[in-house]
Structure 1
Amino acid sequence: MDLSYFHVAGDVPKGLEPETAVVIDVLRATTTIAWALHNGAEAVETFADLEQLKKKSHEWPQDSRLLVGERGGKRIEGFDLGNSPVDVLPSLVRGKRLFMSTTNGTRSLDVVRNAGTLYTMALPNRRAVAERLLCEMPNQLCIIGSGWEGTYSLEDSLAAGALAAFLLDKASNSVEIVNDELTAALALWDKWKEDREGCLRLASHGRRLIGLGDHDADFKCCSELDQIDVVPFQVEVGVLSAS
């Protein structure tokens, strides 16, 4: 399995349609997606464009849908929920479809929507996603971070390194790191793996969230490792379900 990592969606070569892709947005989209599906959401449908989200969501029964999203870290006006993994409680999301748009993560998903197989990952479901990849053992795996408005993010690289480290530990003879970005992510993981929350708080987006208010619960949730078994999987373009 050849592993490569792209810091942001804009780094993905034009025309590339990976055999398998894993999108990461630690703070907070893919963490929220993982917990929403773990807590019983029917699916999470993601949108880069807000108008498309509103149009599509209106085709869904009102009592079976939730609008979830943020811009600049703040909940979108008129939406049911922002982009916090601690808010997608079972009592709110069970059986419902979440229509989601975020500043960064849903844009990365849109860029690789035509991948042969597409997963999302965050630190809490790292092991589950890694074990699925080891079962499938694709020839090519592209890991895509989400960054912040097209720029590098520390926390996404931390999670990319966490995924690569697990795969190397379990199948070193079958896994090859093929770009420098992932080698650097592995080094980052080695430095911060025992203080993941500290890394998230140090990151520029972490400091941005701190400036917006009390996000202690988000930092704790987003930095937890291997806590849940859900593997978000694209079942149709833009639609993620638990698998």
Structure 2
Amino acid sequence: MQISYFHTSEAVPAVRPVAEGGPDAAVAIDVLRATTTIAWSLRNGAEAIQAFADLAELEAAAAAWPAERRLRAGERGGKRVDGYELGNSPLAVTPELVGGKRIFMSTTNGTRSLAAVRAVPLLLTACLPNRTAVAQRLIAAGAQRVWIVGSGWEGDYSLEDSLAAGAVISAATELAVAPHVGVTTGNDEALAALALWQQWRHEPETCLRAASHGQRLIGLGDHDADFACCAAVDSLPVVPTQTSPGVLQLV
């Protein structure tokens, strides 16, 4: 398995078919906080997460869904979109609120990364809590060329997404012990992400707080519980998987 890492959706090359050397699997990451919220939503019983980069498209899709079975989750600049039931906190997606519901989600950065690799045959989302579960799924699927895509912040590099990318690469490397399943890095960005994880693996929350987006959240108010949740490595067994374009479910 060869794993490449791209810091942002803007850095992702055009997706080619697998037969032409394109990836057969992709992993989207937005540690603070979209992919952590997605994982917890599905763990707590949400029927699906439907992701949108554009709020107008989200509104149109949500309006076509039964009102009693939908929730809108919107975040811009770290804050909840006015009038939406949810923002982007993994603590808000309780079983009582999200159970049986479809969540129509748009965030500042994470949903753009999902859109960039929507055409890849196997598309997963990862965060620190489910990084080993994601690595296990990639190996079980026999993935050969994997693209991990970070979300960054408005097109810029994101430390916490790179940390999680390295965490996934590390887990895959540790798990790929069978013959012919070895893991290699496909670009220097993946190798750098792995080195970052090795540096911070014992203090992931410290890394999240030190990152520029972590500092941004701290400036917006008390997000201590969100930081702890997003830094809880291997606390979730779920793997959000794209089942149709833009729709993530547990399969």
State the TM-score, normalizing by the size of structure 2.
0.95
CA distance in 1, matches of 2:2, 2:215: 34
Q: Which amino acid aligns with 2:158?
A: S
The alpha carbon displacement at 1:178 in A equals 1.4
In 2, distance between residues paired with 1:147 and 1:236? 24
Deviation at residue 80 of structure 1 after TM alignment: 0.2
1:12 aligns with 2:17: no
Cα deviation, residue 138, structure 1:
1.1
- Distance in 2 between residues matched to 1:242 and 1:125, nearest whole Å: 13
> Per-residue displacement from partner, 1:122-181 (whole Å, max 9, x unpaired)?
011111111111111211000000000011000000000001011111226521111100
Q: Which runs of 5+ in 1 are unaligned?
A: none
Alpha-carbon deviation of 1:18?
2.6
Matches within 5 A, 1:1-243: 1-16=1-16, 18-171=23-176, 174-243=182-251
Deviation at 1:192, TM superposition (A): 0.5
Q: Distance in 1 between matches of 2:61 and 2:141?
A: 33
Does the 8 Å contact 2:49/2:104 carry over to 1?
yes
Q: Deviations over 1:43-86 (max 9, x none)?
A: 00000010000000000111100000200000001100100001
Aligned-residue RMSD, C-alpha:
1.0
Instruction: Report SS of the residue matched to 1:194.
Output: coil
Q: Relative to structure 2, which stretch is displaced further, 166-175 or 192-201? A: 166-175
Q: What is the rounded CA distance, in whole Å, between the counterparts of 1:195 and 1:66 in structure 2?
A: 34
Counterpart amino acid of 1:174? G
Provide Cα deviations, 1:177-206, integer angstroms capped at 9, x if missing partner. Answer: 111001111110011001000000000000
Return the alpha-carbon distance in structure 1 between the equivalents of residues 184 and 196 of structure 2: 18
Q: How many corresponding residue pairs?
A: 243
Deviation at 1:15? Answer: 4.0
How far apart in 2 are the matches of 1:74 and 1:212? 8
Contact 2:28 2:149 in 1 (8 A): yes
SS at match of 1:56: helix
Equivalent position amino acid for 1:10 in 2? E
8 Å contact kept, 1:18–1:112 = no
- Aligned identity (percent) is 58
> 2: CA distance between counterparts of 1:213 and 1:15?
39
Paired with 2:241 and 2:123, the residues of 1 have a C-alpha distance of: 6
Residue 19 of structure 1, CA deviation: 1.2
Stretches of structure 2 lacking an aligned partner (at least 5 in a row): 17-21
Q: Which runs of 4+ in 1 moved over 4 A?
A: none
The answer as to whether partners of 2:131 and 2:167 remain within 8 angstroms in 1 is: yes
- Does 122-131 or 16-25 show the bigger shift? 16-25
Residue 19 of structure 2 is matched in structure 1 by none
